[in-house]
Amino acid sequence: MPALEMNDVRKVYGSGEQAVVALDHATLRVADDEMVALVGPSGSGKTTLLSIVGGLLQPTAGTVRVGPHEIDEYGPKELTRFRREFVGFVFQGANLVPFLSARENLLIVSELAGGDRRHARRRADQLLEELGLSHRADNTPATLSGGEKQRVAIGRALMNEPELVLFDEPTSALDTKLGEQVMELIRREVKGRGTAAVVVTHDTRMTHFADRAVEITDGRLVA
């Protein structure tokens, strides 16, 4: 079963003459250990696509399946649970909780799900170790470098052992060298776990880290 399968998905904002088509008959399939880069300029629809795949937005038409989950049929509560348990997000600029330590930023995910605390802590420590952040586990985001913050964000996205991880411009706030290091890290972590990933980026220099790149222009996907 593919990690992601979206068929003929449309997303239209507004109605009548004010209607804006953000996503136009988009069809995409991502295998269960595949890493796909979604490339396009600003306003091309890549954020909308990422939001629909991550259960943050509902499509106007079409079907979206993430693993066994047909999320285009989900209501708000089911989508909240889906995001909490089956998908991982890495946002632009890391977007960490400023008053929590690196470890606690990872533990948020399990706290929201009400999981076993001891198990969650073991997993958080294991992830931090794998990401080379054991020595920074008790540091708050304000005392971490840009790269370290992004690694914490990756750790948070992997906490719930997701079937699909979505990266929203993970290198936009980083210089080229650090951006490449982060992309290398993302590839290593995703591939090492056999997890599927969609990486949204406008930086074509980063696409070679993915298994393949898909271009999006005016809401339409071009393989």
Partner 1 sequence: MRLGWKELVRRPGRFIATGGALTLIVILLLLLGGLLDGLFNASTGAYRAQTAELIVYSADSRDSLLRSRIDPATEDAIRAIPGVRRVSGTGAVLIAGRVLGGGTVDLAVVGYEAPNRQVPPPPEPGRAYADATLEAEGVALGDTIAIGPSEVPVEVVGWVEDTRYLAQGTLWVEPGTWHEVLVTARPDAALDEDTFQAALVETTDDAEAVAGRIRGQVPGTSPLTIDEAVFALPGVQAQNDTFAQIIGVTFAIAGLVVALFFALVVLERLGLLGMLKAVGASTRQLAAGLITQAVLVALGAFVVGGAISLALAAVVPAEVPVELEVRRAAITGVGVLVTSLIGSAVSFRRIVRIDPASAVGGS
Q: Which residues bind partner 1 (CB under 8 A)?
A: 47, 50-51, 54, 56-57, 77, 80-81, 83-85, 89, 91-93, 95, 97-100, 104, 108-109, 111-113, 156, 168-169, 172
* Residue written as token pair 């330590």: 101
CB of 80 to partner 1, least distance (A): 5
CB of 156 to partner 1, least distance (A): 7
Cβ atoms 28, 2 nearer than 8 A: no
Return the number of the residue (31 or 202) whose C-beta is nearest partner 1. Answer: 202
Return the number of the residue (134 or 140) whose C-beta is nearest partner 1. Answer: 140
Return the number of the residue (47 or 195) whose C-beta is nearest partner 1. Answer: 47
CB of 48 to partner 1, least distance (A): 8
Return the number of the residue (31 or 81) whose C-beta is nearest partner 1. Answer: 81
Return the number of the residue (31 or 95) whose C-beta is nearest partner 1. Answer: 95
CB of 178 to partner 1, least distance (A): 18
CB of 83 to partner 1, least distance (A): 4
